Amino acid sequence: MGNTFGRMFRVTTWGESHGDAVGVTIDGCPPLVEIDLADIQYDLDRRKPGQSLITSQRRESDRAQILSGVFEDQSLGTPIHIIVHNEDQKSKDYEHMKDKFRPSHADFTYQSKYGIRNWKGGGRASARETIGRVAAGAIAKKILKNDYDVQIIGYVKQIWNIIADIDPSKVSKDGVESSSIRCPDPVSSEKMFNAIDKARKNRDSLGGIIELVVHNVPIGLGSPVFDKLDADLAKAMLSLPASKGFEIGSGFGGVSMPGSEHNDEFYTSEKGTVKTRTNYSGGIQGGISNGEDIIIRVAFKPPATIMKEQNTINENLEDVVLEGRGRHDPCVLPRAVPIVEAMTALVLMDHVLLQRGQVGHV
Amino acid sequence: MGNTFGRMFRVTTWGESHGDAVGVTIDGCPPLVEIDLADIQYDLDRRKPGQSLITSQRRESDRAQILSGVFEDQSLGTPIHIIVHNEDQKSKDYEHMKDKFRPSHADFTYQSKYGIRNWKGGGRASARETIGRVAAGAIAKKILKNDYDVQIIGYVKQIWNIIADIDPSKVSKDGVESSSIRCPDPVSSEKMFNAIDKARKNRDSLGGIIELVVHNVPIGLGSPVFDKLDADLAKAMLSLPASKGFEIGSGFGGVSMPGSEHNDEFYTSEKGTVKTRTNYSGGIQGGISNGEDIIIRVAFKPPATIMKEQNTINENLEDVVLEGRGRHDPCVLPRAVPIVEAMTALVLMDHVLLQRGQVGHV
Amino acid sequence: MGNTFGRMFRVTTWGESHGDAVGVTIDGCPPLVEIDLADIQYDLDRRKPGQSLITSQRRESDRAQILSGVFEDQSLGTPIHIIVHNEDQKSKDYEHMKDKFRPSHADFTYQSKYGIRNWKGGGRASARETIGRVAAGAIAKKILKNDYDVQIIGYVKQIWNIIADIDPSKVSKDGVESSSIRCPDPVSSEKMFNAIDKARKNRDSLGGIIELVVHNVPIGLGSPVFDKLDADLAKAMLSLPASKGFEIGSGFGGVSMPGSEHNDEFYTSEKGTVKTRTNYSGGIQGGISNGEDIIIRVAFKPPATIMKEQNTINENLEDVVLEGRGRHDPCVLPRAVPIVEAMTALVLMDHVLLQRGQVGHV
Amino acid sequence: MGNTFGRMFRVTTWGESHGDAVGVTIDGCPPLVEIDLADIQYDLDRRKPGQSLITSQRRESDRAQILSGVFEDQSLGTPIHIIVHNEDQKSKDYEHMKDKFRPSHADFTYQSKYGIRNWKGGGRASARETIGRVAAGAIAKKILKNDYDVQIIGYVKQIWNIIADIDPSKVSKDGVESSSIRCPDPVSSEKMFNAIDKARKNRDSLGGIIELVVHNVPIGLGSPVFDKLDADLAKAMLSLPASKGFEIGSGFGGVSMPGSEHNDEFYTSEKGTVKTRTNYSGGIQGGISNGEDIIIRVAFKPPATIMKEQNTINENLEDVVLEGRGRHDPCVLPRAVPIVEAMTALVLMDHVLLQRGQVGHV
């Protein structure tokens, strides 16, 4: 249960971090979409480990193979299956903590829920599971771009206590990718890199915040009252490993503004389209997109697996000391950017199809 | 689409703020549960308008009627239907803004999405829709309490820039209910009341933050990777009118802690149960409950409908000035507490049934 | 669980035969559909008891009220709720069999499954539950008619061993409605009436077969591999009280034809459309509509509740003799025709929206 | 859309007949189930081509690989993924009919629905897709056997006009498997073999009926009103390639019995359990299992692809003559037996988990 996301554009993932492979089935993709493996690989490469000194050194080429649903480079409308083989599992690294519960990791809860867990690596709790999301998201991104010129740009807004200075309306994909941190503010990016590197050397880890902006969102996406567009985005983001919070538009900060200041005044643009002078709503009102930029933020805690010694217990509930091993990210933020983008694309794509289904057009 | 919540404990709501009635169908309720209308009415009364000077003065008794699914005070296992008739619609209040779009309200997006809207009142975007959620949540609360001694307590943590000083582990339902604001810190409660009253007199509105704690959560609830317990809570909360953010445990604040500090150390309690020394995780690890208190926070923006004059446009895209009328809350937080509790109960109840289904016990 | 049907055009029913009311929520109805209560009432009147001597004499006006989702006679795109109050429950008729299990009825299985049942009337197992289906189906029928000129005509093909002689391609709605049996073959209709009347006098009951034809089905409806159009029709029909079988096109009879005879030869019509010379497929190939008439048949067993004395057991597992009371149909077929039509309309409407969502047009 | 089956025990299949592989994800499998690849392979071998002269001569070893969800031979509770690589595609056989529509096949409807199709082989319409169903069904069968001693036995009841004489209550798995037709009546089996062989030589094809019996079904499975156990079985069976009809218990034949004869009289067995003297209900009453044997029948039409010349049209809507090539079954029944069994197991397993979830026990 729980491994399928979406209603019309449905994504089902499978696979553990130290199993043979991970994969994804995409059901509901419109037919006749040009599917280019390079688009998928581009985002997988942005997600993969080993991109820099400050990411996990696990060596994975993360090569995607499409096993079904595509014929002569076009989608058939039937399930697309994409598989990525694992190549560099080092399960031995996990043997010393086979029966120990890493603090704040999912070891204890998986074991308690199911009565069993794959202790070789993180199993389904590993971020390796997100490969399927990124692959599916790349297809959704492409359709959204082709059909509506939707542009989804995520970036690192904060690492630890270092907050970047970024104007969401002006950030560019190139600006993001030119930073190994995926933070388009060069000054902050450097500070962030140093902070992560220092944490790494300290055998510690850091968290942060990813911000994401979507341009050219079609008006009318979202299905109140439960499947509001922002509700589905919130679920998408909190389903990511290590995420602890979600906000849209003014978010938590907006609560200290009075309504007269917070309300986004409507006006008619020169092109005759409806616009708002401010965007505290973050592009969604009443759970439905209003055509303004969608702006969201996602909080990620520092990774649980650290190299420092920690007190914990084992499966016999005895006190033990745990020393981390394995290859882990001291900070997940730089690699999480394409994942947050992918989940956004999946939510938007699903709602495009829902809207087209119920109302007949988008 | 989008008006059903949950998979095993499924709730479907219907009704508009100025229609004849609002209602809810609960499908999947276990049989042989004692259903007491008084439990449902208790929470509806906490939600209803007119509770104090600083809430909407709409006069609604909000009397629930159970039309099916209960026999001799016990649930049958078949759909429970609960209806509440609207009594005090004043649709005339809305005629002057029939073709005007209230800034930051759902008028524009509903009209754009569907090509039609019920301009008499807020339609489905009205918080009146949450009556069905609260009624269903009262049943879920009761089952959770009876079967697992689960206790769900929400309260107002912040209004505008007034932040209450509350220890989640010690807050009591009586403490919450003794405050008209539902803020169990008496000093802050009074400040909050005054701030809201002042905003009301200024024809303005205020936002804030609700915090909620759940005691005695069964271990093992949550269905990774997409239907994580926190992911479903996030969706539940962002599906509420006026909510702009969700966080769990350390949330956005936790990003400035290093992993060595943020990790919750496991230990074995004197009773032989697994506990953590801190609870930055907020009771959920890897998307699955770990038995510690669940602690979440939800940000609510200031209500969009204010009595002040505002610039906006009408359906012809012409500039107009809008002056609010109707009976509205200058701050939704006090009445939102039972709604946040209800959504929490619905999520937990659904996951109890899912876990019982897949694994065989909770 | 189990009280919602459809994915995009979603119908949720509630209510028991001897409760206050029965009702239905329709979620996903396209906006701007003209909703005329008379259309709904027309089909409810075809379903209601007391239409003739050979139907149940329960006196129900079965007046539908629309409580939400319609504004100035147009659908809003938000949930439509329709309620019908029960008026003529005679629960006393059931007291003598309060703890007895009617043979082949759902008394025993409901009691065993849930540990409780509403013994006053048939509870959810009563055909009274189908009121919601018929009301929702009337809306689906109207949309299908308006948008695609789809015409759905059901009729009684067989009662007991009396088989009517009917050409599905030529049957008319008027022909059906001119018969109290809803059998457009006048000779058979009279025989059927007499057979049912005789069974009624014998305190017995009769079964039969309903055949249904759909003209002008859009090509391309159906979602292989599991949600094939015929698979969803089969589920829809077997979800009806007393149904025991479903077949499409050649059905069970077709198994004795060789492939060379059974295959439907394609040709191009004078209008340039693709047609088949025969229609053993019944309008669906590979789970997808091909534009030919859909032709299905549904078998209904004789009603379980008869007035004759029967041996059975009670809740203490003791042998008892049961004599039926209450007002029951000696044959459900005439009243089941609009129900079979409604379920067909719900399936088609759902697949129209699914197809429009995924592929962009129907 | 449409490639997922089940709610709690959820199966998602992917893959085309002439692609690289076919596969299945099983989500919701209980943890700690012993998973033996041999069990899966046993049923795949019963389904695979090349078992005898009268089945397709395509050479496929159909070797299953488990890629996730199993750890040290036990299910983890997370998604199980099973893949089978295609080995013997001969797409050249299809080139001559690349743009021709096979009569009664899915070529035309897939092309019309999606605007594209994989003309190399049958794509998703091929029975090769059922490999995933059979693999998943083998796991479901095992759990049902271990936990409740459920036994599911399918067999060929009729081929063409040859009807076997079989007592469902006495049929054994060995009896079925000792016949190459999977018909446990030896006399009929031989006649059937000869009839199929003759059809094959005539370049023609034959249909038939599969009957299936389930012993030891737990009482209480099924979720009225829409997700009745028989409704889900009907959907499962009509989702199979070439199926045209479904019936349960007395089925279509039962309509000529009066209620007094058709009703199944309850009595208390010597063991103190509730039994019925007859079983015209086929083990399900009111959509819920009553503990008696479930008995169903599924009609399969003769395969559409035959070697005889047939008139049809091509994509340009021109008249053409088509001569079948490729390796096809002249009759699908013998290989369809394990598929019908698998779908039955999936439905029952899903309802076991649903019942356990809602009611707490099975």
Cβ-based contacts of B351 with chain D (< 8 Å): none
* Contact residues, chain A to chain D, C-beta under 8 Å: 1-4, 8, 10, 12-16, 19-23, 25, 27-28, 31-32, 65, 67-69, 71, 74, 76-81, 113-118, 123-124
pLDDT at C314 > cutoff 80 = yes
C86 to each of C47, C55, C89, how far by Cα in Å?
A: 14, 17, 7
CA distance to partner chain B, nearest, from residue C240 (Å): 16
pLDDT band of B95, cuts 50, 70, 90: confident
Token couple for A46? 């942005």
CB B18 within 8 A of CB B89: yes
CA distance to partner chain B, nearest, from residue D38 (Å): 24
Whether the bond into B225 is cis, omega within 30 of 0: yes
Token couple for B204? 């303005």
**Contact criterion met (CB < 8 Å) for C263 and D104:** yes
Q: Report the relative pairing of strands B309-313 and B294-300 from DSSP bridges.
A: unpaired
Cβ-based contacts of C68 with chain B (< 8 Å): 14-16, 19-22
Selected residue of C358, C359, C361, C362 to mutate for chain A interface (largest A Cβ count, 10 A): C358
Whether the bond into D332 is cis, omega within 30 of 0: no
Give the model's pLDDT for residue B94: 78
Tell me which chain B residue has its CA closest to the CA of residue A287.
B239
Residue B190's nearest CA partner among B306, B297, B54 is: B54
Give the model's pLDDT for residue D191: 98
CA distance to partner chain D, nearest, from residue C168 (Å): 18
Cβ-based contacts of D356 with chain C (< 8 Å): none
> Which residue is listed with tokens 């602890």?
A244
**Contact criterion met (CB < 8 Å) for D10 and A4:** yes
Model confidence over D249-292: pLDDT tens digits?
Answer: 999 999 999 999 999 999 999 999 999 999 999 999 999 999 99
pLDDT at C145 > cutoff 80 = yes
Alpha-carbon distance C289 to C229, whole Å? 7
Residues in chain B: 362
**Contact criterion met (CB < 8 Å) for B231 and A248:** no
Mean pLDDT (whole number) for B40-69: 90
Write down which chains contact chain A via at least 3 CB pairs under 8 A: B, C, D
Alpha-carbon distance D289 to C112, whole Å? 10
Cα angle B20, B21, B25 (rounded to 5 degrees) comes to: 145
Mean pLDDT (whole number) for C160-182: 97
Token couple for C164? 């009517």
Give the model's pLDDT for residue D122: 84
Q: Which amino acid is at A88?
A: D
Residue A238's nearest CA partner among B257, B299, B350, B227 is: B227
Cβ-based contacts of D15 with chain A (< 8 Å): 67-68, 79, 81
Selected residue of B14, B235, B240, B354 to mutate for chain A interface (largest A Cβ count, 10 A): B235
Residues in chain D: 362
Token couple for D326? 């490729």
Strand partners, C24: C13, C82
Cβ-based contacts of C29 with chain A (< 8 Å): 358
CA distance to partner chain C, nearest, from residue A93 (Å): 43
**Contact criterion met (CB < 8 Å) for C357 and A359:** no
* Contact residues, chain C to chain A, C-beta under 8 Å: 7-8, 28-31, 77-78, 224, 353-354, 356-360
> Which residue is listed with tokens 């399960």?
A91
pLDDT at B327 > cutoff 80 = no
Q: Within 10 A of C45 (CB to CB), how many other CB atoms are there? A: 14
pLDDT band of C18, cuts 50, 70, 90: confident
Instruction: Please report, for chain D, how many H helices and E strands are present, in that order.
Output: 8, 18
Q: How many CA atoms lie within 13 A of A107 on its CB side?
A: 23
Model confidence over C53-76: pLDDT tens digits?
Answer: 888 877 889 999 999 999 999 999
Cβ-based contacts of D350 with chain B (< 8 Å): none
ipTM exceeds 0.90:
yes
pLDDT in tens, chain A (362 residues): 899 999 999 999 999 988 899 999 999 999 999 999 999 999 999 999 888 888 888 788 999 999 999 999 999 999 999 999 998 777 777 788 889 999 999 999 999 999 999 988 788 999 999 999 999 999 999 999 999 999 999 999 999 999 999 999 999 999 999 999 999 999 999 999 999 999 999 999 999 999 999 999 999 999 999 999 999 999 999 999 999 999 999 999 999 999 999 999 999 999 999 999 999 999 999 999 999 999 999 999 999 999 999 999 999 999 999 987 777 889 999 999 999 999 999 999 999 999 999 999 99
Query: Greatest CA separation found in chain A?
Result: 70
Token couple for D250? 């007395």
Tell me which chain C residue has its CA closest to the CA of residue B71.
C118
Give the model's pLDDT for residue A120: 85
Residue B331's nearest CA partner among B234, B237, B195 is: B195
Tell me which chain A residue has its CA closest to the CA of residue D82.
A14
Nearest-CB residue to D360 (from B7, B354, B356): B356
CB C292 within 8 A of CB C222: no
Give the model's pLDDT for residue D2: 97
CA distance to partner chain D, nearest, from residue A308 (Å): 29
Nearest-CB residue to B235 (from A105, A223, A232): A232
**Contact criterion met (CB < 8 Å) for C353 and A353:** no
**Contact criterion met (CB < 8 Å) for B68 and C15:** yes
Give the model's pLDDT for residue C94: 77
**Virtual torsion, Cα C139, C143, C149, C152, nearest 10 deg:** -30
Alpha-carbon distance C332 to D253, whole Å? 17
Residues in chain A: 362
CA distance to partner chain D, nearest, from residue C72 (Å): 32
Give the model's pLDDT for residue A327: 74
For the question of whether the overall pTM of this predicted structure is more than 0.95, the answer is yes
Alpha-carbon distance B235 to A230, whole Å? 8
Token couple for B324? 């609010």
Nearest-CB residue to D79 (from A3, A27, A116): A3
Nearest-CB residue to B77 (from C69, C71, C114): C114
Q: Within 10 A of D274 (CB to CB), how many other CB atoms are there? A: 17
Give the model's pLDDT for residue D340: 98
Name the residue with higher pLDDT: D64 or A123.
Answer: D64
Q: Is B184 left (phi over 0), alpha (psi -120 to 50) or beta?
A: alpha
pLDDT at D209 > cutoff 80 = yes
Give the model's pLDDT for residue D328: 81
Q: Report the relative pairing of strands D64-68 and D80-85 from DSSP bridges.
A: antiparallel
Alpha-carbon distance D146 to B6, whole Å? 30
Alpha-carbon distance A281 to A229, whole Å? 12
Selected residue of B353, B355, B361, B362 to mutate for chain D interface (largest D Cβ count, 10 A): B353
**Virtual torsion, Cα D191, D193, D196, D200, nearest 10 deg:** -130
CATH class of B4-359: alpha beta
For B343, residues 6+ apart whose C-beta sits below 8 A from its C-beta are B133, B137, B233, B236, B237, B239, B240
Burial (CB count within 10 angstroms: exposed 0-12, middle 13-18, buried 19+), residue A83: buried
Alpha-carbon distance D39 to B295, whole Å? 45
> For helices C37-47 and C130-148, what crossing angle results, to 10°?
130
CA distance to partner chain C, nearest, from residue A360 (Å): 7
Alpha-carbon distance A339 to A328, whole Å? 17
Strand runs (DSSP E) across chain B, as ranges? 4-5, 10-15, 21-27, 64-68, 70-71, 74-75, 80-85, 151-159, 162-163, 208-215, 243-248, 266-268, 274-276, 284-285, 288-289, 294-300, 309-313, 319-323
Mean pLDDT (whole number) for D121-141: 94
- Alpha-helix runs per DSSP H in chain A: 37-47, 92-95, 107-114, 130-148, 173-177, 186-201, 229-238, 259-262, 333-359
**Contact criterion met (CB < 8 Å) for A10 and D1:** yes
Mean pLDDT (whole number) for B269-289: 97
Question: What is A289-332 written as a DSSP string?
Answer: E-SSPEEEEEEEPPPS--SSEEEEEBTT--EEEEE--S---S--
Model confidence over C288-298: pLDDT tens digits?
Answer: 999 999 999 99
Alpha-carbon distance A235 to B227, whole Å? 8
Residue B135 Cα to chain centre, angstroms: 12
Cβ-based contacts of B28 with chain C (< 8 Å): 1
Tell me which chain A residue has its CA closest to the CA of residue B224.
A2
Write down which chains contact chain D via at least 3 CB pairs under 8 A: A, B, C
Model confidence over A286-310: pLDDT tens digits?
Answer: 999 999 999 999 999 999 999 999 9
Q: Within 10 A of C270 (CB to CB), how many other CB atoms are there? A: 6
Give the model's pLDDT for residue C176: 98
**Domain ranges across chain D:** 4-359
Residue A233's nearest CA partner among A345, A344, A352, A355 is: A344
Write down which chains contact chain B via at least 3 CB pairs under 8 A: A, C, D
**Contact criterion met (CB < 8 Å) for B30 and D224:** no
pLDDT band of D239, cuts 50, 70, 90: very high
Mean pLDDT check: name the lowest of B12-21, C3-12, D295-304: B12-21
Local structure of residue A21 (DSSP, 8 states):
E
**Virtual torsion, Cα B318, B324, B330, B335, nearest 10 deg:** -90
Helix (H) or strand (E) holding C343: helix C333-359
Alpha-carbon distance B1 to A357, whole Å? 10
Strand partners, C81: C25, C68
Mean pLDDT (whole number) for C254-273: 97
Give the model's pLDDT for residue A50: 84
pLDDT at C89 > cutoff 80 = no
> For helices B37-47 and B130-148, what crossing angle results, to 10°?
130
Alpha-carbon distance A123 to A143, whole Å? 31
